Structure 1
Amino acid sequence: MNSKFYSLQFSFFIFTILFSLVFSSMSLAYLAKVNDEVITVEDFKKALSSAHRYAPLRKDKAGKLSKKIIKETLDNMIEHYLLAQEAQRLNLDKEPDYLKNLEDYKKDLATRAFWQEEFKKIKISDEELKSYYQEKNTKWHFSQIFTKSEKKAQEALKQLQAGEPFPKVARELSESPYASRGGDLGFIRKGQMVKEWEKVAFLLKPGEFSDIIKTSQGFHIVKLEEIKLPDMKNFEQRKKSIRKELTKKRRKIVEKQWEDSLRAKANIKINQKLLKEIKEDFKGKDEEVIAWVNGAPIYLKEFLPTFKRKLWGYNVMKERWNIKIDLNEVKNEILDGLINQKVIEQEAIKRDYFSKNQEIKKQLDNYKRMLLIEEFKRKIIAPQIILSEKELKDYYEEHKQAYLRPNQYNLRLIRVNSKKEAQEILEELKAGGDFAFLAKKKSIAESAKKGGAIGWISENRLPSKIREVVKELKPGEFSPIIEDGRHYSIVFLEEKKEGKPIPFEEVKEKVKKQLWQQKFNTLLNKYLKQLRKVSDIKLDKNTLNRLEEEFGIK
């Protein structure tokens, strides 16, 4: 009995290993080899997914995959590899702009990996969720005496300490809008008042009043009337959103802890002279250094865009609410953010995710390929395109129909609320009924009083459904019923003016872009054709067949 059991167990174990190996080999098997680079099944699936063509990911919203789509996607990938390899052969990977873009992406990718790793360490128990939910939704009933005079606040406190009722003192001495109701603020939650106020108020017990609290607004004396705990019945229902909210708060804490910790160890030097010189209309040199973090520079070009954007926002607030802006605070806030970003980047790069994490390495390789293709297009193909005035005019004449002004239509309209009513009107029109008379009598459109006449209207101003129908009408004809989701319409075409060609000078820039793109595509395809000829490209038909079977392609 036992030997049979162990024999079955062993067989299942072997089957599991074999299945895993087959599945794994399928994922890692190559579909194509482009010179010395391999396109794996996994690479191909990701390309399909990013193009929104992978049927299992799109479920019922996608059409079925076909051999044509598989071929197009694979051909596109092969071409990307060929262009990137050619760019590398031409040493475009040594170009300063390529290296700068790549370095920026590496920092960004490493930083995202760093936070992903750190955020995974955040664990929140159900008890913590309950506690957070309870604290957040607990309501505190307060009364307050507020005055801008410290002397008046001291007098109020003296009376309270002598046993005078809080509402009486509030009515007599408080300058708050709530004074007339004895200072009663009603129920509030944590986070609604200023920090200095909350720091004292939420430590009170029901029935207690505070000492004088000084804030930027004035002087406060607060009394806690009662505490109302939340109903925990809704907790389970809201558990998911509470976890999301608390996780977000914990992430902020983790971010702050890391920034503070790394800054404490970092060697930070600030160019105080330059920082002091920066004013609202400041124009400095992009490569000037505003700070160094462990020897790495923070350039003025990183600082100024944020400074100008924030200053614009603050100036709007200043005009609207007469708020005073401390320019030094704004500058320090921006610089602090850049320094924090720099210390995190440096820590993330140290962790060497690019060699330790295959997924991140793959992302970097894909980005390198994309950058190389852009370098090739911009520096090898684009400079070869020169457009003469004659070529532009010839292209314009050849494609004149693409540069027509919109057709103009003189229309009448009948619009009703029900399909049944629209069908009845249509039958009357077919029987020879007068469109203008029926429009005046039955249409709900504003044009009804004018017999449905809406006059001349440009084709591009018509709703798409009406436009498509009107295009097919001849003068003197009326349309079938047009549904737009809410109403049912019938239109009558009285006259039509064909759109005339737009003069060359008015569309010259558009012509230039289109001809440039056409030449660009021709040159690119020529390069690709040549690269395919001289390259070693191999397709694994067995893997391709298995993939097609997986996708259900026959």
Structure 2
Amino acid sequence: MAVVNGEQITRQGLADECVRRYAHDVLDSMISKQILLQACQSHGVTVTDKDIEDEIYKVATKFSLSVDRWLSLLETERNVDAQQYRQDIIWPTLALRRLASRQTVPTQEELRQAFEAEYGPKVKARLIVVSSRQKADWVLQAAQANPESFAQLAKEHSEDRATASAYGVIPPIRKHVGDPKLEQIAFSLQENQLSPVIPVGNQYLILKCERQIPETYISSEHLPQIEAQLKERLSEHKTRLESAELFQRLQAQSKVVNVIKDPKQQPQYPGAAAVVNGQAITMQQLSAECVSRHGKDVLEGEINRLLLIQELRRAGRTVNEQDINAEVARAAEAYNFLKKDGSPDVEAWLKNVTENDDTTVEMYVRDAVWPSVALKKLVGGQVEVTAEDLQKGFESNFGERVEVLAIVLGNQRQAQTVWDMARNNSTDQFFGELANQYSVEPSSRSNFGQVPPLRKHSGQPLLEKEAFRLKPGELSGIIAMGDKYIILRCLGRTQPVVKEFHAVKDELYRDILEKKLRLAMAKEFDRLKESSQIDNFLAGTSQGGRLAGAKTASPASFNQPVAPAAAPARR
């Protein structure tokens, strides 16, 4: 499948790695497809290649795209190639659609509600969401005492981050699309009126009505076309619901033996990955499907791994279990997984990794920890933390910072116009209003120019230099940063967090060493790739470089470090 500096990565080696990583997910998909295929055979339902191509054309046309462009977009944006799209998405969709027996024609009442939701009246409002009734009552009282403070209350107290950052602003509330009680209250409010506390699920909501938006006028000329679009949309929605219900019934009626999940079944079903209603899905089929779906990505990782193995061998260095355990402990400490005594809580860290990333300890060690340790072994002696590094790190992490308001513009002409307006009305409030109106950066726009304080040595020297030059109330010049133009207004300086350098010297040293190591590791890995001869037959690519002596070896055959003994591999 690939040759790296003369050493081969075999198809079997690649298949083993694909199965190791993706067997369970891929097998679940194959089982579902087998259940569906058997149902089609039982009911005489067929889906032809022409049916599939017609459906792809229909979907692409909905997005005003050619079929080629649509398939290309799926591969680049969603990592779904054309064959997988045909077999695993379009075919099951059509099969379920044809197996579904229930009528999916929308009723007149459903059409009326859909029309009203799309073109009927709406409510422009702001929203505060909290998780306790007591807090909701307090916030409501504060809002009632000063209705103009609702936006600020939303920013400070709403527990929904998306709306809190926008001062409570939400998309207009429509009918028949959300909680009926919330909609009923929203449409009963007058302009600037506050709602009572509205319990929804385990949350408590408060609305402030800003405006009742009248229904959209639709001419009789356009009404038939709109009704046809709504009817099609509703029909597709009902079909999806019916298809989902049908598939749940098929699953419940099927007898499935998942041999991979239950190894005790292996003697009874030799060579099988699963058995669906008496029909086997073989390990060979599973292996081929894993390679088909994930082979390119896994092969790229195996190529990278083999490059590191070759370089470690050339340098006479090894990665042992002690190195692995130390790196896992370092990661646990870096992400604040600590025991009461301050030592790294490796067990809690590994639990977090496996649960959040849907992986195993074995795969985490193999794909993340081992490469990191290998590269550190290769570059460790090249990295030094200097006194200047420590001083800059101290200033950046613990020194004073500049509090500013910021406006980010997309072109110089508009930046000049906004800068003139800010200079002619030199107040924080007016600058914030300009940011809300003109800034193209979402955070500064929604927060009326407020951004995190600027610190030294953060990687933006031009911006830092201008910010630290300013005094409170001063306006910066127009700062060109790439294709953006930034205007700052200084609010003041923060107080240094820590004044004693020696109190944090050790912490700084570890942090800076790790960052410099990461930079050196990336540089070393780039060097390895650029200087290597890599022929990737699966991707159809070839890269020239220096050639080593040829060998035949599967990456899976190398002795690799195992996971820490205290944390057995699991999925």
TM-score range (shorter-chain normalised) is: under 0.3
* TM-score under structure 2 length normalisation: 0.27
Of structures 1 and 2, the larger Rg is shown by 1
* TM-score under structure 1 length normalisation: 0.27
Give the number of the structure whose residues are more often helix, by fraction.
1
